[in-house]
Structure 1
Amino acid sequence: MSMLPVFTVCRLPGKVSLLLMLGIFLTACSEPAMHHQASPAIPYTRLLAAEQVIVTRELPGRVSPFTLSEVRPQVNGVILERLFEEGADVVAGQVLYQIDPVLYEAAYKNAKAELGMALADENAARLRAERYTILVKSNAISKQDYDDAIAAYGVSRRGLKPPGKPLNQPG
Structure 2
Amino acid sequence: MADEARQTIVGELDEKHSLHVHSYNTETDVADEHQHVIMGVSGPMCPQGNSHVHRVRGRTTFFVDGDEGHWHWYDVMSGPAIAMPDGTHTHYFSGETSVDDGHSHSFADNTALGPNEIIEDDEDDDDDCPNFAATTNAAVAGATSVAGIAGLSKNNKKCKNHRPEETEK
- The interval holding the TM-score normalised by the smaller chain is under 0.3
TM-score (norm 1): 0.17
Select the structure with the greater relative contact order (CA < 8 A; seq sep ≥ 6).
Answer: 2
Q: Which has the higher strand share?
A: 2
TM-score (norm 2): 0.17
Q: Which has the higher helix share?
A: 1
Larger radius of gyration: 1
